[in-house]
Structure 1
Amino acid sequence: MEFTSRMGTLPRIPDDLTIPQFLLDSHHPKRPVNTHRNPWLIDETTGRRIGLEEIRARTYAVANALSGMFKIREDDVVCIFSPNHVDYPTALWGIHRLGAIATCANPAYTASELQYQLELSNACLVFTHSLNLSIALEAARTCNIPSERVILLDSPQSAEFKQYLNVDNLVREGLSQEPNFTERRLKPGEAKTKLALLSFSSGTTGRPKAVAIAHYGLISNLLQMSVAGKVTEDYTTWEDRRYRPGDAIYAVLPFYHIYGAVVILHFYLFCGYSLVVCTRFNFTQMLKSIETYRINHLCLVPPMIVLLCKNPEVKNHDLSSVRFVMSGAAPLSSELTEQLIKVLPNASIAQAYGMTESSTTITFPRMDMKICTLGSSGMFLPGVTAKVIKEDGSLAGLEEQGELFVKAPSVALGYYKNLEATAETFNNGWLRTGDEVIISKEHEVFIVDRKKEIFKVRGYQVAPAELEGHLLNHPDVADTCVVPIPDDYSGEVPLAFVTLTAGAQARVKQNPAEANRIKAELIKFVADSKVHYKRLAGGVEFIDVIPKNPSGKLLRRFLRDKAKELKQSEAAVKAKL
């Protein structure tokens, strides 16, 4: 059977607007009217407040300067490599005003990881932050992007940064020039194919791929969430409404990540919220900001919720302003939900589910429940059609487990310049999620397992194949398989099973202490080249042979089970000590 949404009817979705035209220049019946005059953005550190008119002016100015100074044109690709900053959306929407495409990169990337994204997307200019400048310059140089095309989002006063352009420079230049670009109005239907974002995701396997997201896809998801969240409906008293224009959200999740980009940066602004923008996550500082700015909503990932539940510093702060907590990017356990209820007894608590490939949310929290059904990811958004395929290929019904496939107006166009991977994941209008689910009799969605090889560390995707390919470059490694193991804080962390070369085995046999030295070297080998969440926090285990099926495919499930056994044995030994 196929499943459809029980959360409302999909409204009209404009198909001739870009994202900034929709968000900054127009009004939709499903957008609440905000009469509170609250700022759109607040800089957490300085308290600077930025309203709609300033954002609109700065966005235009950046577009005008990019066009005049660098000849950025339609379909050019510009990278944003930065932590959150109040001018992040200025750069993003300025790119979109020109009809260009943005690709947002993880600010924790190494130069080689950023280089890969710049090359695959064919980016011609980079916005970055002073914290990331050296890595941005190194990657840009490798990709033949001139240093004058590396522009700072922030405006540091140190002499070492004076030689580089920043967004404030672009704004002054753009406002002083005559208009040198004409913003194009899309033809009817064109927004469905007009690229807005190349957002990187590992998909179901392999190295990160560029997910091609159209303007229409992101706009669709905003409207889907608006209907599901009843943001324009007077369904209860103002005090009890979940989404209220004039409220504030703590924008801690990174804007480069699809969760932070679509849900926080776009949906919450669409709802009339003030975003208190956090550049660097610090748990104690988050608690202080909740008090200072009277934060009402928190969109978090499970590791942050672990801190809320277990860090003793929480007792020293007034968190009574928090009215709603939504968890995403990785499953939130029932146990953790119950602990959070004790910490924030006045707040509604729920989780949602989505993917980069679906331009974010597929399911959304129910509005008729203060506390979500434990383990539930909510219900399908309006406009979503879903089916669940069992192991034998037949359609699952209610309460039956299988792999989730969805259709939705927000689904991406495919993987940029990768027809093979696109064919594996996007087929005849269906998005293959790679997630095993059960849909309850109440039509709530429960994520129970992942068929896909990638796993998540603190909500960030890790592709085993990427780490395996890197490890195989080490002279002591003959074969390897990377699997996730459970971790209380991160959810999962990578562990590498390694088969040593004959020479390395001989050294270990001659000197058993060599085994620990090689393990430490392999952990450092990965840490030196990969972003922090891809590091081998689960350790390295030697194995005689990496198990494979007759076709040569790694038997990951076997090694996942073996990894769990090893960790359980280690825990038992520690318990006896």
Structure 2
Amino acid sequence: MHEFSTPTISTPVPHVPDDLTLPQFFLDFPHPARPVRPQGVPCLIEDHSGRPIGFDELKYRCSGLANALSIKWNIGEGDVVCLFSPNHVDYPVSIWATHRIGAIVTPANPGYTADELVHQLSTTKAAVVLCFVEFLPTALAAAKVVGLSPDRIAVIEASASSPYKGKHETLSKLVEFGANKPPNYVERKLRPGEAKTKVAFYCFSSGTTGKPKAVIIPHYSFTANILQTAAHYAITDPTVKKKHMNPGDVAVGVLPFFHIYGLVVVLHYMLFSGVTLVVVPKFNFTQFLESVTKYKITHLFLVPPQIVLLCKHPATKKHDLSRVKFVVSGAAPLSGELLTGLRKLLPDAAIGQGYGMTETCTTVAILGGRQSMSTPGAAGQIIPGVVARVVRPDGTLCKEGEQGELVVTGPSMALGYLNNEVATKESFVDGWVRTGDEVIIRNSEVFVVDRLKEIIKVKGFQVAPAELEGHLLLHPTVSDACVVGIPDDYAGEIPLAYVVLNEASSKRVAGKPTEGEKIKAELMKYVADNKIAYKRLAGGVVFTDAIPKNASGKILRRVLRDKAKKEHGGERARL
């Protein structure tokens, strides 16, 4: 048996407190591994206005909102608050306020349709929704279906300059209300070890079957991953003269905070490191470039589609990127070609990739603390505290450099899936997480070869084929379906559907190409009307006589995936 731990990384993991909630760790506890934020350096900057938000303001707003949630709706231990918003300077406030009163946060994608939000609200039994004003109609429609009263939805305003004038409570008014009332709750001090089981988040992750699943993440796992990453980058080690990040640096917060990468690495780890985070609600490439220049941004956390634009869009040359010193790509593999292009664009920056999952509470591997560039093809160096195994199909352990499934453990692993014992037993085994990724490990660097799972990664977002197949099968023209991913330069992968038409529809299109095109367009619209943008059938629809299956009826997805890559992989559709 051969086990990989992290033999090339000598930095030990700092002490991970097991009796603190996330806000206690961030707002109340001066951990020795945490750099001191220089006087006058804000925690956050609101991108569109330039408004700085300091530590004291964050703490004040957190306390006020916590008290208001307790007074207005009696939110407390074990209750769930859904945060349905794009990136916003009150995102951490909403999280920490919820945790202050012992409740759980479930971050939701603001691009969700009402049906998709219904699934998240009903799965988590959310008691309150904090909703960005633009998406209030979706939240109201979903709340009606799950029986959540409209007065349990509070509005997050776009900015102070555009106040909400409707009947719902606003987050800012709740903060002031709670700050001016006597405390209605007593913040609980956790018992030693309790942070390992005290739930902080229900973060949704797509599995290989069905709808997204709620991953149970305790406070300890979240805190641990932050401290593991801090150790990886030696951010308080005085012997490391040239650090990748220092207090006073400026990072861009454009990746969505509802996604585990944005939530842990970008939002929380940057704040822990003493870096100022410029909060960008929505990605617009030219505006993004303007922000990089305006705020003298030093750290870029991106996904491959954004890097494609950075390397190829003509607007890039019109902006000063000279202060950028650190770029990490995550959520999906970055090609060697893009890595090389990025190096030409930013010759003095440290550039690399990161690898992690919602189930591992993010980072398993990332650009090394002493690397100026990742090894081409590597997803990063394994961080301190993570133990990795590469397993053959028969369950035996691989030797170094041999290909197999990556299985990991460490202090940041999630607890399992909410109310899904079958899926939990499949992915969480005796403290280890089966990643479903086929990898090779060399010198503590992870090289992802293929995904054993059937997940499609579109712009870093997970798309479960079974969810789209189930939806297509409800359409009256479809008798069977299989959805696979095909390569795309911009999105990484895009969904393509193989569809078997029912008898009547088959007769309708026989010898009539225009009728076939009408049905294809109808099916693509059917998905687009009911699913978030990244789940749409951007790869198109292909009619087939039959979906290949094994003797037990399981779809032989790899057969169609290989066929699709061969026949359609070069078409490069765009979302």
Tell me the TM-score normalized by structure 1: 0.97
Q: Secondary structure at the match of 1:2?
A: coil
Correspondent of 1:60 among 63, 76, 79: 63
Aligned twin of 1:229: 233
Correspondent of 1:102 among 95, 105, 108: 105
Query: Is contact 1:37-1:246 (8 Å) kept?
Result: no
Correspondent of 2:260 among 248, 254, 258: 258
Q: Counterparts of 2:148 and 2:43 in 1: how far apart (Å)?
A: 33
Once the two structures are superposed, the pairs formed by residues 60-459 of structure 1 within 5 Å of their partners are 60-154=63-157, 161-237=165-241, 240-440=242-442, 442-459=443-460
User: Deviation per CA, 1:28-82, whole angstroms, max 9, x where unpaired?
Assistant: 1111122343000110001111101110010000000010111111100010001
Task: Report whether the alignment pairs 1:50 with 2:53.
Answer: yes
Q: Counterparts of 1:232 and 1:421 in 2: how far apart (Å)?
A: 40
1:512: how far off? 3.2
> How many percent of aligned residue pairs carry the same amino acid?
53
Query: Is contact 1:390-1:402 (8 Å) kept?
Result: yes
Aligned twin of 2:565: 564
Aligned twin of 1:467: 468
1:391: how far off? 2.6
Task: Report whether the alignment pairs 1:31 with 2:42.
Answer: no
Correspondent of 1:14 among 8, 17, 20: 17
Query: Is contact 2:215-2:415 (8 Å) kept?
Result: yes
Query: Is contact 1:204-1:434 (8 Å) kept?
Result: no
1:559: how far off? 0.2
User: Deviation per CA, 1:357-385, whole angstroms, max 9, x where unpaired?
Assistant: 00000112112221111111122111111
Query: Is contact 2:208-2:465 (8 Å) kept?
Result: no
Q: Secondary structure at the match of 1:295?
A: coil
1:185: how far off? 0.5
Q: Counterparts of 1:314 and 1:569 in 2: how far apart (Å)?
A: 26
- Give the letter aligned to residue 187 of structure 1: R
Q: For the structure 1 residues 393 and 315, does the alpha-carbon distance in structure 2 shift closer, same or farther, using more than 3 Å as the test?
A: same
Aligned-residue CA RMSD (Å): 1.3
Q: Counterparts of 2:165 and 2:344 in 1: how far apart (Å)?
A: 47
Q: For the structure 1 residues 183 and 356, does the alpha-carbon distance in structure 2 shift closer, same or farther, using more than 3 Å as the test?
A: same
1:159: how far off? 8.4
- Give the letter aligned to residue 215 of structure 1: H
Q: Counterparts of 1:160 and 1:35 in 2: how far apart (Å)?
A: 35
Q: Counterparts of 2:168 and 2:528 in 1: how far apart (Å)?
A: 30
Aligned twin of 1:575: none
Q: Secondary structure at the match of 1:432?
A: strand
Count of residue pairs the alignment pairs up: 568
Q: Secondary structure at the match of 1:24?
A: helix
Q: For the structure 1 residues 570 and 457, does the alpha-carbon distance in structure 2 shift closer, same or farther, using more than 3 Å as the test?
A: closer
Q: Counterparts of 1:241 and 1:11 in 2: how far apart (Å)?
A: 18
Q: Secondary structure at the match of 1:551?
A: coil
User: Deviation per CA, 1:441-463, whole angstroms, max 9, x where unpaired?
Assistant: x2211011000011200000000
Q: Counterparts of 2:275 and 2:369 in 1: how far apart (Å)?
A: 19
Tell me the TM-score normalized by structure 2: 0.97
Q: For the structure 1 residues 159 and 346, does the alpha-carbon distance in structure 2 shift closer, same or farther, using more than 3 Å as the test?
A: closer
Query: Is contact 1:155-1:168 (8 Å) kept?
Result: no
Q: Counterparts of 1:279 and 1:569 in 2: how far apart (Å)?
A: 33
Q: Secondary structure at the match of 2:4?
A: strand
Q: Secondary structure at the match of 2:29?
A: coil
Q: Counterparts of 1:313 and 1:570 in 2: how far apart (Å)?
A: 25
Q: Secondary structure at the match of 1:275?
A: strand
Q: Counterparts of 1:31 and 1:252 in 2: how far apart (Å)?
A: 24
Q: Counterparts of 2:388 and 2:380 in 1: how far apart (Å)?
A: 14
Q: Counterparts of 1:458 and 1:67 in 2: how far apart (Å)?
A: 38
- Give the letter aligned to residue 428 of structure 1: D
Q: Counterparts of 1:324 and 1:568 in 2: how far apart (Å)?
A: 32
Q: Secondary structure at the match of 1:39?
A: coil
Q: Counterparts of 2:255 and 2:263 in 1: how far apart (Å)?
A: 9
- Give the letter aligned to residue 341 of structure 1: R
Q: Counterparts of 2:566 and 2:523 in 1: how far apart (Å)?
A: 22
Q: Counterparts of 2:315 and 2:256 in 1: how far apart (Å)?
A: 24
Q: Counterparts of 2:164 and 2:59 in 1: how far apart (Å)?
A: 30
Instruction: List alignment gaps of at least 5 residues for structure 2.
Output: none
Q: For the structure 1 residues 215 and 260, does the alpha-carbon distance in structure 2 shift closer, same or farther, using more than 3 Å as the test?
A: same
User: Deviation per CA, 1:90-134, whole angstroms, max 9, x where unpaired?
Assistant: 111100000000000001100000011000000011001111111
Query: Is contact 1:460-1:533 (8 Å) kept?
Result: yes
Q: Secondary structure at the match of 2:510?
A: helix
Aligned twin of 2:533: 532
Q: Counterparts of 2:162 and 2:288 in 1: how far apart (Å)?
A: 27
1:10: how far off? 1.8
1:158: how far off? 6.6
1:513: how far off? 1.6
Query: Is contact 1:254-1:261 (8 Å) kept?
Result: yes
Q: For the structure 1 residues 102 and 515, does the alpha-carbon distance in structure 2 shift closer, same or farther, using more than 3 Å as the test?
A: same
Instruction: List alignment gaps of at least 5 residues for structure 1.
Output: 572-577
User: Deviation per CA, 1:514-565, whole angstroms, max 9, x where unpaired?
Assistant: 1000000000000000000000000000000100011111111110111122
Aligned twin of 1:517: 518
Q: For the structure 1 residues 568 and 271, does the alpha-carbon distance in structure 2 shift closer, same or farther, using more than 3 Å as the test?
A: closer
Q: Counterparts of 2:566 and 2:544 in 1: how far apart (Å)?
A: 14
Query: Is contact 1:477-1:499 (8 Å) kept?
Result: yes
